[in-house]
A and B are shown apart, each in its own frame.
Chain A
Amino acid sequence: MDFLEEGVVSDTMAQSVRKSRSFWMMFAVCVLGATILFLIPAYIIRPFRYQSPRALVWAITIRQHAPFGSALAACITFLMAWVLWSRAARAGKALIVLGALLATGSAIMSRLNYFEWMFHPVRQPNFAPAGSTKLDSGEMVLALSFNNDARAYPVREMAYHHIVNDVVGGIPVAVTY
């Protein structure tokens, strides 16, 4: 009997070790997945670097699906963290915290447009009449006119914001520099 019982016990232990191992595996895959979903596009689409047509398509395809993908990966990461927490030793707990932080950070970054941190967008364009605008006469402007609605977008402003969404003479335009 003793012998048999021992066999059963060691069997369930082996099972639980196997289970733990697959939870850890799942945890690692999800952390890595979320991180990659954020980092690959961020790495490829960075300024002052050459983008090959193929790498670019990869980057924006990943970026397009990253908000959903990284959120899903982060959720599973948390689920695994919850399952693994009680079984983990001190070093294991540290790994869990680190992994959860990485996955959360990546899921958040995948949803943020860091390009707009560099160049703040113009939420609502405001205009002033030509006569009361204090602009040097030599300053360059981008000029548009539809249906007698003439607009000027000073280049020094456009070189910072880069895009202004506007409606000129009833026609929606994206002014970009």
Chain B
Amino acid sequence: MLHFYLAGINNQNFLMRDRETGTWWQQISGKAILGPLKGAALELAPSDELSFGLWKRESPGGQVLAAVARDQKEYDSKWEAEVAKHPVVISFPGTELKSRDLVVGLELSGEARAYPVEAILKQSPIQDRVGGNPVLVLAGPDGKSVRAFASRLDGFEMEFFRKSASDDFLLVDSMGGSEWNFRGCAVSGSARGRCLHALPAIKDYWFDWRNYHPETTVYRR
């Protein structure tokens, strides 16, 4: 088991080292770039960036990281605006997005694809393909949270529609007419109790995602 600490920065993406071997790791990829474990890669755990309200509704028995007392005054609720003021050191002119545009990045079967957060919030549910696989990209009921799923059940590709005339967040599938929630689980109909496979998604600035995924495509409609 390795324990990681901040050890440097590489074009505004952190470098970490582990206390056990001193290997250097790149934050975004989890890859060991130098040191005894060079060539190894950490497994990307499926995680979510959610609003606290939504997370709490989904995980009422969950645990929340407590503030570290001596650092509490350093926490900045306007960090996003602060970060946006910092200069960027790499840019990709000619690409259709601005350096600090937020994207959600997916990687499947060798293809990397970026979804501008603005587009997701406007167009959810987005049905798309990445590396030949059908994917479903969703904005949550809070209008902030984003999730991605493999849009397939028992080998069958599925299509989803926003359920109209409902305040709650619900999608309806084209096959059995089941209703699906933001967790990717069916709450009614023939698929009730089944869940779609959630995909690891990385929320990142465009310049950082593009820097580490030079072949990335960009979703646009």
Residues of A within 8 A of B (CB): 41, 45-51, 56-57, 59-61, 63-64, 113, 115-116, 119-122, 125-131, 133, 135-146, 149-157, 159-165, 171-176
Residues of B within 8 A of A (CB): 1-12, 14-16, 22, 24, 27, 33-35, 42, 45-56, 58-68, 70-71, 74-77, 79, 83, 86-87, 89-90, 142, 144
Chain B nearest CB, measured from A111 CB (Å): 12
| Chain A residues within 8 Å of B142, by CB | 138
* A and B contact pairs by CB, cutoff 8 A, 17 listed: A47-B12, A49-B89, A120-B74, A122-B68, A126-B65, A128-B63, A129-B62, A133-B52, A137-B52, A139-B52, A140-B144, A150-B55, A150-B59, A152-B62, A159-B83, A164-B65, A165-B3
| Chain B residues within 8 Å of A46, by CB | 9
**Among the listed B6, B12, B87, which residue makes an inter-chain contact with A115, where contact means beta carbons less than 8 Å apart?**
B6
A135 touches B4 (CB 8 A): no
| Chain A residues within 8 Å of B59, by CB | 130, 143, 145, 150, 152
- Please report the C-alpha to C-alpha distance between residue A176 and residue B53 in the assembled complex, in whole angstroms: 21
Given A160-B75, A172-B1, decide whether A141 and B7 contact each other with a Cβ distance below 8 A: no
Smallest CB-CB separation from A167: which chain B residue? B1
Given A45-B15, A56-B10, A160-B76, decide whether A143 and B65 contact each other with a Cβ distance below 8 A: no
- Please report the C-alpha to C-alpha distance between residue A108 and residue B27 in the assembled complex, in whole angstroms: 26
Provide the main secondary structure of the chain A interface.
Answer: mixed
Q: A50-B90, A120-B68, A121-B5 are in contact. List 16 more A-B contacts (CB 8 A).
A: A60-B24, A63-B7, A64-B35, A122-B68, A131-B56, A135-B52, A141-B49, A142-B47, A143-B48, A143-B62, A145-B59, A150-B55, A151-B65, A162-B6, A165-B4, A172-B2
**Among the listed A127, A142, A157, A165, which residue makes an inter-chain contact with B75, where contact means beta carbons less than 8 Å apart?**
A157
B14 touches A48 (CB 8 A): no
Chain A nearest CB, measured from B14 CB (Å): 6
Given A60-B34, A144-B45, A145-B59, decide whether A135 and B64 contact each other with a Cβ distance below 8 A: yes
Given A128-B64, A151-B62, A160-B76, decide whether A115 and B8 contact each other with a Cβ distance below 8 A: yes
